[in-house]
């Protein structure tokens, strides 16, 4: 068994940000190699570098002894290096069979004569057999006449693998094949991967689903911040201290949140501006009762009960795809509920649009630091005021909370660092003097020091009476700052309780690492 693919000191910068840094590893012929790492670790960038969708800043990609660095994707495909995509890509408007036929492009012979007069019957028959064999392998023969866009999500993902197989790869690269799959679907897909390997194709698969990957791959390479952390047998890798830290997040000694002041008396106060009193008798600012949400046929949340008390920081933790972001979007009215009800600040929100919910006292700070890059810091903050003039005292208060923003008032937001952009996004959410702040992955992609700064700001904010529902992959940080936490797994609440207790619970490690 020789070496099929080798990455040599691969580096890729985006502006000032290094997504992949001096990364080297190899794939042996006939193995299933897993490339794992938390969200934002640089896995997909690595994939794009290997498959020609991105050119490396430096370093080489060697495939079967040939330097293929920088070749366009279709030429790599012709050499036997074929990939799938993270977000399902199939030809939605074509039938399943047509999809595989199209993907068999390299098996077919072309030329103007064949185009005008058709291919010879023997050639057409060979193509038909090839398509049938591929559909047989992945188990989609029964759906060959159906429109790909109408397939269930899981079937589309399988079809995507079929498209890659139709191109007859030597090395198949799968980008997050388990994303959005439940346990059964994941293990069935892993079986398919093993069947593909048994048929002679080497497989490189990336995913952050450590549990499935550790079970199914021969070897694992772990990356974080674009750097290789560990490489080797799954067992050794999952017990590596650095890997555990990368997955669970580092704890940088944050103080505990102040105990919640009881009673409905404490109305939200931000920057000396009081927000409307709660209706008497409700201590919860947010309440989920049996909430379910689906995307098409994918169940994202299933019968979830959850509450955020006044003055509480509640963390919602769990692996990627567990349904955390969906929960936030349901609160802010960006998604329709399948069933169940949500109460916000003592009022049922059914029928209220996102803007109406903001006026009730809700602010949502979405994942990915959505700021207006061409506007100045101050203009960005002003955008956070839904109606009416900008209240200077609130602005002043945001600057007190994030002194870095005051220093950069007139700088364009696009030129801020990642951490500063995150502070700006939170600051903007605070401009409406919310009573409940929804925060989605505020520390994603931030260096530990900046993550800690965001955590501290959160605590100060909470001291002033703002309730927070915090979604985080960095479980250690989230559990350090929160009063209580819920652990989501595949759309269900797997665990809940006081954050301090959950931190000590081994079960949470299982959710993240499957250890």
Binding site for other proteins (CB under 8 A): 14, 19, 42-48, 51, 53-54, 72-75, 77-78, 82-85, 87-94, 98, 101-106, 108-110, 114-119, 145-150, 156, 163-164, 166-167
* SS3 readout for 143-192: HCCCEHHHCCHHHHHHHHHHHHHHCCCCEEEEECCCCCCCHHHHHHHHHH
Instruction: Between 40 and 455, name the residue whose CB sits nearer to other proteins.
Output: 40
CB of 50 to other proteins, least distance (A): 11
What's the closest the beta carbon of residue 363 comes to other proteins, in angstroms? 27
Smaller CB separation from other proteins, 89 or 341: 89
Our CB check for other proteins shows the closer of 149 and 232 to be 149
The CB-of-292 to other proteins minimum distance in angstroms stands at 22
Q: CB-wise, 15 or 389, nearer to other proteins?
A: 15
Cβ–Cβ < 8 Å for 438, 362:
yes
CB 484 within 8 A of CB 259: no
Strand boundaries in 208-334, DSSP class E: 219-224, 227-232, 269-270, 273-274, 284-295, 298-309, 313-317
Cβ 107 vs Cβ 134: under 8 Å: no
Q: Which is nearer to other proteins, 47 or 486 (CB)?
A: 47
Question: Up-side HSE of residue 473: CA atoms within 13 Å toward CB?
Answer: 23
Provide the minimum distance between the beta carbon of 151 and other proteins in the complex, in angstroms, as a whole number.
Answer: 9
For other proteins, which is the closer residue by CB, 51 or 380? 51
Identify which of residues 164 and 488 has a Cβ nearer to other proteins in the complex. 164
Measured distance CA(301)–CA(309) in Å, rounded: 21
CA 246 to chain CA centroid, nearest Å: 15
Least Å from the CB of residue 503 to other proteins: 31
Looking from the CA of 54 toward its CB, the CA atoms found within 13 Å total: 20
- Copy the structure tokens of residue 276: 């409307």
- Residue 471: strand, helix, or coil: strand
Least separation, in Å, of the C-beta of 444 and other proteins? 14
Cα angle for residues 316, 485, 293 (degrees, 5° grid): 40
Q: For other proteins, which is the closer residue by CB, 105 or 194?
A: 105
DSSP state of 426: H
To the nearest whole angstrom, how small is the minimum distance from the Cβ of residue 255 to other proteins?
A: 35
Query: Which residue's entry shows tokens 């399988």?
Result: 158
Q: Smallest distance, Å, CB 135 to other proteins?
A: 15
Smallest distance from other proteins to CB 39, Å: 11
Q: In what order do the strands lie in the sheet with 362-365?
A: 362-365, 436-440, 467-472, 313-317, 484-489, 492-498
Instruction: Give the three-class secondary structure for 370.
Output: coil
Taking the least distance from each CB to other proteins, the nearer of 42 and 257 is 42
């Amino acid at each position: 068994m020789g070496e099929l693919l080798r990455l040599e000191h691969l580096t890729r910068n985006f502006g000032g940000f290094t997504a992949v840094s001096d990364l080297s590893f190899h794939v042996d012929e006939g193995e299933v190699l897993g490339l794992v790492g938390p969200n934002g670790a640089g896995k997909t960038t690595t994939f794009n570098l290997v498959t020609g969708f991105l050119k490396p800043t430096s370093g080489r990609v060697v495939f079967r002894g040939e330097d293929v660095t920088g070749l366009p994707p279709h030429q790599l495909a012709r050499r036997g290096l074929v990939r799938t995509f993270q977000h399902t890509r199939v030809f939605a408007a074509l039938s399943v069979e047509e999809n595989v036929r199209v993907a068999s492009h390299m098996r077919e012979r072309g030329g103007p004569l064949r185009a005008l007069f058709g291919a010879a019957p023997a050639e057409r028959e060979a193509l038909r057999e090839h398509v049938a064999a591929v559909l047989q392998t992945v188990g989609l023969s029964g759906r060959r006449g159906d429109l790909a866009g109408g397939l269930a999500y899981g079937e589309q993902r399988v079809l995507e693998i079929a498209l890659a197989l139709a191109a007859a790869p030597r090395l198949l690269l799968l980008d997050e094949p388990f994303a959005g799959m439940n346990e059964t679907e994941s293990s069935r897909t892993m079986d398919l991967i093993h069947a593909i390997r048994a048929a002679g194709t080497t497989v490189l698969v990336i995913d952050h689903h450590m549990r499935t990957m550790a079970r199914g791959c021969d070897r694992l390479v772990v990356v974080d911040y674009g750097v290789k952390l560990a490489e080797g047998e799954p067992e050794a890798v999952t017990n590596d201290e650095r890997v555990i830290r990368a997955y669970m997040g580092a704890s940088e000694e944050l103080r505990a949140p102040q105990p919640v002041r009881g009673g409905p008396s404490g109305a939200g106060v931000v920057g000396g501006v009081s927000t409307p009193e709660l209706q008497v008798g409700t201590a919860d600012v947010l309440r989920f009762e049996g909430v379910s949400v689906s995307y098409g046929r994918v169940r994202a949340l299933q019968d979830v009960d959850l509450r955020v008390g006044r003055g509480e920081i509640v963390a919602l933790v769990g692996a990627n795809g567990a349904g955390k972001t969906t929960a936030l979007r349901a609160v802010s009215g960006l998604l329709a509920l399948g069933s169940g009800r949500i109460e916000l600040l003592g009022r049922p929100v059914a029928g209220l649009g996102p803007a109406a919910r903001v006026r009730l006292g809700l602010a949502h700070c979405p994942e990915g630091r959505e700021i207006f890059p061409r506007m100045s810091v101050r203009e960005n903050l002003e955008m956070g005021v839904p109606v009416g003039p900008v209240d200077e005292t609130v602005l002043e208060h945001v600057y007190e909370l994030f002194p870095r923003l005051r220093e950069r008032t007139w700088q364009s937001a696009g030129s801020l660092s990642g951490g500063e952009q995150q502070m700006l996004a939170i600051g903007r959410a605070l401009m409406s003097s919310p009573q409940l702040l929804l925060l989605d992955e505020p520390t994603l992609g931030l260096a530990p020091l900046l993550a800690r700064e965001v955590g501290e700001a959160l605590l100060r904010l909470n001291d002033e009476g703002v309730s927070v529902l915090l979604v985080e992959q960095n479980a250690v940080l989230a559990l350090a700052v929160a009063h209580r936490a819920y652990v989501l797994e595949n759309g269900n609440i797997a665990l809940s309780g006081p954050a301090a207790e959950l931190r000590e619970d081994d079960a949470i490690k299982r959710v993240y690492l499957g250890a």
